[in-house]
Structure 1
């Protein structure tokens, strides 16, 4: 039986329709899709000359040489540029920004690994450490208001480079979807006196059926209104609003539960394509964020979302904004726990 479920955090609906699993689909074709290794991968160790000069690296030697653990370089095909003027203007009834912002590539590891479950614990920690470093550095640029951290892995997740990498895009304004979500979180906080994340986490701990795993400071679960089959989120249990506020011990704990969760997904799905996103609240106080900005530490919790790309989106999803998920999140969480 199908169910139209509402996500109180995202403020969006998802249609859970198990009957859709019976339809012909290309999931098997996707799992068997072979990814080709490039002869001269620009992200591999020893190929540093094939990328722009690095912005940041975990290393003990000279920049742009072998011997690194992670590297951060400007995206060669920038969506926005830090060199552009930060200028907003009007064109009749329309508004536009000059193409200002930051677009960086985080090279997650020097090893050309095609599966994230092959990463060591140290590689998970280094990846999180590097994203934290870039997030905290870019916070100092008062022109930047929003930072998006995301990982596209595999052809069907829109990745064009097989070597493990993550992207960062920073903008001078907050996207409407993010603005709407955090305003909703702020209203919930004013009405209930606590964060919606806190309420959801308490409810999931009581229900238990959608929890994948827990640690002292983090909880991994399949959301009640999961938009995608095997969609999994990791939330901070404590009032920490973004990755930049975690110390090294918390990063180690997060690396541990993330490694465990990713391994469980691979055991269930085999070699699959996926997107990972990290939620980051607005960085600066301005006319669009001033109503809630001072309350962000209380209303927002760190979250990391893993979205397997197993099925295609169709006209209903694009037209209505409501995804159709053919797998009950309770069943997905049970399978992941067994893994």
Structure 2
């Protein structure tokens, strides 16, 4: 397998040399995402819910569920892989430094948290039980990824 980066798989974290706590994620693979600046499709009878990959009933439009709550069939919270990740789960090269520039390989995980099965609900309207589950899922997932 070729370990050289190509224009289609460049994934880097570029550190700001002036303010090192700031960084920029760069990923050429994100260019493969559906574009929002394209002309909208003609209005159809298909509802937005039917088209949305994050709505209940459209689980086949996303990668497999990594975590769901309370259950996979009756989920209210889901975590799935991102179809267009900024980061790669395999390390391709060494970190680079040249001049003031410091570039870190874009290594890590990029997952999507669907925080509620109702897209229009605001966090201040979520139940206490739901918020507790959401923060617990975040904590548990970060622990799994850290280990």
Q: Deviations over 1:23-52 (max 9, x none)?
A: xxxxxxxxxxxxxx9342211111111112
**TM-score normalised according to structure 2 size:** 0.57
Which position in structure 1 is the counterpart of 2:110?
Answer: 103
Which position in structure 2 is the counterpart of 1:38?
Answer: 48
The question of whether the paired residues in 2 share the 8 Å contact of 1:69 and 1:126 is answered with: no
Flag the 1:86–1:72 CA change in 2: closer, same or farther, 3 A: farther
**TM-score normalised according to structure 1 size:** 0.27
Q: Structure 1 CA distance, aligned partners of 2:121 and 2:69?
A: 21
Shift of 1:90: 3.1
SS of 1:57 mapped into structure 2: strand
Flag the 1:70–1:86 CA change in 2: closer, same or farther, 3 A: farther
**Structure 1 segment 190-205 matched on structure 2, within 5 A:** none
SS of 1:97 mapped into structure 2: strand
The question of whether the paired residues in 2 share the 8 Å contact of 1:89 and 1:96 is answered with: yes
SS of 1:131 mapped into structure 2: helix
Q: Structure 2 CA distance, aligned partners of 1:105 and 1:134?
A: 12
Q: Structure 2 CA distance, aligned partners of 1:85 and 1:78?
A: 15
Q: How many residues align?
A: 100
Shift of 1:137: 0.9
**1:133 partnered with 2:143:** no
Larger Rg: 1
Greater helix proportion: 1
The question of whether the paired residues in 2 share the 8 Å contact of 1:86 and 1:100 is answered with: no
Task: Give the root-mean-square deviation of aligned CA atoms.
Answer: 2.4
**Structure 1 segment 134-153 matched on structure 2, within 5 A:** 134-140=141-147
**Structure 1 segment 1-339 matched on structure 2, within 5 A:** 38-39=48-49, 40-61=51-72, 66-85=73-92, 87-91=94-98, 93-140=100-147
Flag the 1:97–1:128 CA change in 2: closer, same or farther, 3 A: same
Q: Deviations over 1:215-262 (max 9, x none)?
A: xxxxxxxxxxxxxxxxxxxxxxxxxxxxxxxxxxxxxxxxxxxxxxxx
Q: Deviations over 1:92-129 (max 9, x none)?
A: 55321222122211111222334223212221111111
SS of 1:136 mapped into structure 2: helix
Q: Deviations over 1:261-283 (max 9, x none)?
A: xxxxxxxxxxxxxxxxxxxxxxx
Q: Which runs of 5+ in 1 are unaligned?
A: 1-36, 141-339
SS of 1:72 mapped into structure 2: strand
The question of whether the paired residues in 2 share the 8 Å contact of 1:84 and 1:98 is answered with: yes
